[in-house]
Amino acid sequence: MSHEEAARQFSFRLPGSLVERVEECMEEIRKAGLDVTRADVVRLLIKHGLDATHCKLDLLFGRSPAGSRPAKRRS
């Protein structure tokens, strides 16, 4: 995200175990000398996940989720 791009608020809940992982990541980044917030880390992780997977199910889930079918095309 460029610094000039307008930011929009996005709220969601995370399980405690995932919050712990985000906070561990935040501490690792801080150890490297960067002053980051939890929100900064979540933004970085989301961007990295999107860039790395391009929302391909096999990359997101390690394989296609069981029982999933391709979406029907609209005519």
Question: What DSSP state is assigned to residue 5?
Answer: S
Would residue 57 count as lying in a domain? Answer: yes
End-to-end CA distance of the chain: 35
Would residue 68 count as lying in a domain? Answer: no
Would residue 56 count as lying in a domain? Answer: yes
Would residue 43 count as lying in a domain? Answer: yes
Residue range(s) defining the domain that contains residue 26: 16-61
How many CB atoms neighbour CB 15 within 10 A? Answer: 8
Decide: pTM greater than 0.85.
no
Would residue 7 count as lying in a domain? Answer: no
Rounded to an integer, what distance in angstroms lies between the CA atom of residue 74 and that of residue 71?
9
Model confidence band, residue 39 (pLDDT cutoffs 50, 70, 90): very high
Computed over every residue of the chain, the mean pLDDT equals 87
Beta strands in the chain (DSSP E): none
Residues 6+ apart with CB under 8 A from 60: 53
- Is residue 52 predicted with pLDDT exceeding 60? yes
- Is residue 50 predicted with pLDDT exceeding 80? yes
For the chain, what is the domain count? Answer: 1
